[in-house]
Chains A and B, each alone.
Chain A
């Protein structure tokens, strides 16, 4: 079942912070976060494993609450390059990755 992402879209000024949430109705093995620019393939940001978390970039971090089956992506002091659509992917014990519908992030100067 597809994880639910919120918000669907967010508009920020450069330098502002944002939080993107991802929740699942299934028990999770890991959560993956990717960013996609228009017309391009998704690009890896970070992966969070059951029992821990990993930080992919300095100003982009994430948390993983296994009990609540939720993950959040935090973007601090956003830059114009952060614009794009962010996807969370949830993985179950059968290695199957299912993706949320995405959160469109627009950064204005």
Chain B
């Protein structure tokens, strides 16, 4: 059981380049989300999804796109990278509905934009 898998772990981009951070989970979780973490600021929600074909914006969605074509995958796209997007990105997933739905995190992707 792999849990939540993020790739790549590290990436360096130049300003204006595009890239996709991949996220896959094998737990059949309905809810998937992307966070960015900057020093001293905790985790900020970028986008989230409660099921295939459904996505919604979080606190800091500008500059990022997502799609959810399958239950397992939730890629995060940066169309034109900016230095302000230098951060550590975490993908996370969990069940939805009643009860205690624990959020499982991926290992993180460290992105540097020059």
Contacts and interface: CB of A to CB of B under 8 A. Distances in A.
B105 A41 contact: yes
Interface residues of A, number: 22
Contact of A42 (B31, B58, B90): B90
A64 interface: no
Contact of B106 (A41, A89, A95, A99): A41
Size category of the B interface is 20 to 34
A96 B58 CA distance: 8
A99 B59 CA distance: 10
B42 interface: yes
Given A42-B90, A96-B45, A101 B40 contact: yes
A96 B101 CA distance: 12
Interface in B36-57: 40-45, 48, 50, 56
B103 A44 contact: yes
Contacts of A89: 43, 103
Given A95-B50, A96-B48, A96-B58, A54 B105 contact: no
A100 to B, nearest CB: 6
B103 A99 contact: no
A86 to B, nearest CB: 10
Interface in A8-40: 30, 32, 34, 40
Contacts of B102: 32, 44, 47
B2 interface: no
Contact of B107 (A41, A54, A102): A41
A97 interface: yes
Interface of A: 2, 30, 32, 34, 40-44, 47, 49, 54, 87, 89, 95-102
